[in-house]
C-alpha cells in the first residue's frame, strides 16, 4: 500500500517535468467518515479521516488527482476487535466553467483494512491481519486556489463504495477540509 501511495505521488509530480503551464497542488486534509450500516444490520463506528491529496491540472478544467487516506478506526460498533484502514486512489476532477470554484470527481483505487485484537497492555505483541479491497469514489466540492499567496482551501464531500467488502457491498460518506498549496510552473521557451 505504501508503494502505491508513493508511486501515485511520484507520477503526479513527474508529470510536471515537461508539461506546459501546469499547476500542481498538494492538499493535506482531515474530516469525518460516516458509514452506513454494514449489511443494513451492523453499525460501524463513525470516526475521523486523515490524509493528503496531490493533483495536477491536465487542462484548464480537468485535473488528475491521487489520494492517500487513513481511517484510524473502521471497527464494527460493540466489538472488541480493532480495525484501521489505508486508502489509496486516483481520480479525475472536472472544474465547472459556470462556477470555477466548484468541481466534481470520480475515481478508483484500493483500501487495505488491517484488523487486530485489543489488548489491555501497550507492550503486548500485536496480531494484525490485512485484507485488500477495490474502492470507487465519487463526489465533489469547493476549491479556492491561491487565496493567500500559494495557499488556498478545499472542502470536499464524496461517497466511497467497496463492491466486495468481505463479500458484500459497503458504502459511506466522507467529508473533508483543509488547506491547498498550489505551485505553478511555466515551461521556458
pLDDT in tens, 47-95: 899 999 999 999 989 999 999 999 998 887 777 777 889 999 999 999 9
With cut-offs at 50, 70 and 90, classify the pLDDT of residue 7.
low
Its CATH architecture, for the domain 2-17+28-184, is Beta Barrel (2.40)
pLDDT band at residue 15 using 50, 70 and 90 as cut-offs: very low
* pTM check: above 0.75: yes
Q: 57: Cβ–Cβ under 8 A, 6 or more apart, which residues?
A: 22, 23, 63
Tell me, letter by letter, the H, E, C secondary structure of the chain. CHHHHHHHHHHHHHCCCCCCCEEEEEEEEEEEEEECCECCCECECCEEEEEEEEEEECCCCEEEEEEEEEECCCCECCCCEEEEEEEEEEEEEEECCCCCCEEEEEEEEEEEEEEEECCCCCCCCCCEEEEEEEEEEEEEEEEEEEEECCEEEEEEEEEEEEEEECCEEEEEEEEEEEEEEEEEECCCC
Residue 17's pLDDT is what? Answer: 42
Instruction: Please say whether the beta carbons of 126 and 147 come within 8 A.
Output: no
**Rg for the chain, CA atoms, rounded:** 18
Q: Taking residues 109-113, what's their average pLDDT?
A: 93
Q: Residue 44 above 90 pLDDT? A: no
Instruction: Write out pLDDT tens, residues 168-186.
Output: 898 999 999 999 999 876 5
∠ CA 143-161-72, rounded to 5°: 75
Which residues lie closer than 8 Å to 41 by C-beta, 6 or more apart? none
What distance lies between CA 26 and its chain's CA centroid?
12
**Domain coordinates in residue numbering, the chain:** 2-17+28-184
Q: Which residue has the higher pLDDT, 95 or 120?
A: 95
Amino acid at each position: 500500500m505504501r508503494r502505491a501511495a508513493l508511486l501515485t505521488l511520484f507520477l503526479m509530480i513527474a508529470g510536471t517535468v515537461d508539461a506546459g503551464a501546469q499547476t500542481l497542488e498538494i492538499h493535506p486534509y482531515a474530516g469525518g467518515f460516516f458509514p452506513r450500516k454494514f449489511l443494513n444490520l451492523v453499525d460501524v463506528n463513525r470516526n475521523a479521516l486523515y490524509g493528503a491529496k496531490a493533483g495536477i491540472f491536465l487542462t484548464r478544467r480537468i485535473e488528475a488527482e491521487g489520494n492517500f487516506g487513513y481511517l484510524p478506526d473502521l471497527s464494527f460498533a460493540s466489538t472488541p476487535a480493532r480495525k484501521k484502514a489505508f486508502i489509496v486512489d486516483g481520480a479525475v476532477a472536472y472544474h465547472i466553467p459556470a462556477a470555477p470554484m466548484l468541481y466534481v470527481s470520480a475515481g478508483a483505487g484500493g483500501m487495505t483494512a488491517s484488523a487486530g485484537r485489543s489488548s489491555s497492555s501497550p507492550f503486548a505483541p500485536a496480531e494484525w491481519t490485512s485484507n485488500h479491497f477495490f474502492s470507487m469514489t465519487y463526489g465533489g466540492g469547493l476549491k479556492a486556489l491561491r487565496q493567500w499567496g500559494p495557499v488556498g482551501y478545499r472542502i470536499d464531500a464524496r461517497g466511497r463504495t467497496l463492491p466486495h467488502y468481505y463479500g458484500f457491498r459497503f458504502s459511506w460518506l466522507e467529508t473533508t477540509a483543509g488547506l491547498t498549496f498550489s505551485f505553478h510552473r511555466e515551461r521556458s521557451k
